[in-house]
Amino acid sequence: MRFAACAAALVLAGAAAAADPKAGEAKAAVCAACHGEGGNSTNPAVPSIAAQPAQFLSTALYMFRAGSRQDPQMSPMAKPLSNTEMNDLAAYFAAQKPAPPAHKTSAENAKQGPELARKFHCTQCHGPQLLGQQQMPRLAGQQYDYLRAQLRGFRDGKRGDLDGKMSESAQGLSDTDINVLADYMAGLGG
C-alpha cells in the first residue's frame, strides 16, 4: 500500500488562503490545554510553542499529520488539520510572547553549555542566542524534559526528522552532553 494512489482525489484549494493569526487563535484553545496559555508550557514534558518560528510550527504539524513524526497526543490532533489551518495556528503561536523560563541552569552547565552548543553545531542553525529561525525551533527557554527527550530521540533515530540534519548533528552526543545542553537551553531567556 506504500504506493497507493490517492483515489479519493483530495482536491487542494485553488487559491490558498493567506495565513491568518486571528483564525489560528480561534482554533488554538485546544492547544493551550497541554501547551499552556498562549503556548507557554508549564509541563516539563510538553514543549512551549509560543514565539516559535511559524515555519517550524507548520512543519511540525505537517510531520505529525504525515506520520513522519509520531506522538500519542499530537498525532491525532494534527490528523484533521488542513495546510491552511496549520499555517493559521503557526502564525498565531509565532506571534505570542515567550514567558521567562522557570528553569534554573546550574553554574557549571551555564559554562559548559555554550561550548557544547558550538561543538555540535547547534548555534549554526538555531542562531547564536538559540532563538530559532525559519524551520529551526527556538531552544532558549524550552522545557528541560522535552529537550532531553528530543535530543535522545534524534541521536537514537527515534525522532522524526525533516531532512536528517538534526539526526546527523545529534550523533556523538553522550547522555551527559544531552543533560548539559538541555539544562543550559532550558534556562536561557530572551
The site for another protein (CB under 8 A) is made up of 1-7, 9-19, 55, 58-59, 61-63, 66, 83-84, 86-87, 90, 108, 118, 121, 123-125, 127-128, 133-136, 162-165, 168-169, 171-172, 174-177, 180
Kindly state the cell numbers that stand for 54. Answer: 511559524
Name the minimum Å distance from CB 40 to another protein. 23
Q: In this complex, which beta carbon is closest to another protein, that of residue 34 or of residue 84?
A: 84
Name the minimum Å distance from CB 121 to another protein. 6
Name the minimum Å distance from CB 30 to another protein. 19
Measure the CA–CA gap between 94 and 96, rounded to whole angstroms.
6
Q: In this complex, which beta carbon is closest to another protein, that of residue 42 or of residue 68?
A: 68
Q: In this complex, which beta carbon is closest to another protein, that of residue 49 or of residue 86?
A: 86
Q: In this complex, which beta carbon is closest to another protein, that of residue 27 or of residue 102?
A: 27
Name the minimum Å distance from CB 99 to another protein. 26
Kindly state the cell numbers that stand for 91. Answer: 502564525
Name the minimum Å distance from CB 125 to another protein. 5
Name the minimum Å distance from CB 165 to another protein. 6
Asked if 86 and 27 touch (Cβ cutoff 8 Å), the reply is no
Q: Is 116 exposed, middle or buried (0-12, 13-18, 19+ CB in 10 A)?
A: middle
Q: Considering only CA atoms, which of 108, 102, 123, 114 is closest in space to residue 186?
A: 102
Q: In this complex, which beta carbon is closest to another protein, that of residue 99 or of residue 140?
A: 140
Q: In this complex, which beta carbon is closest to another protein, that of residue 36 or of residue 39?
A: 39
Please state the three-class secondary structure of 41-82 as a single string.
CCCCCCCCCCCCCHHHHHHHHHHHHHCCCCCCCHHHHHCCCC
Measure the CA–CA gap between 60 and 89, rounded to whole angstroms.
11
Radius of gyration over alpha carbons of the chain, in Å? Answer: 17
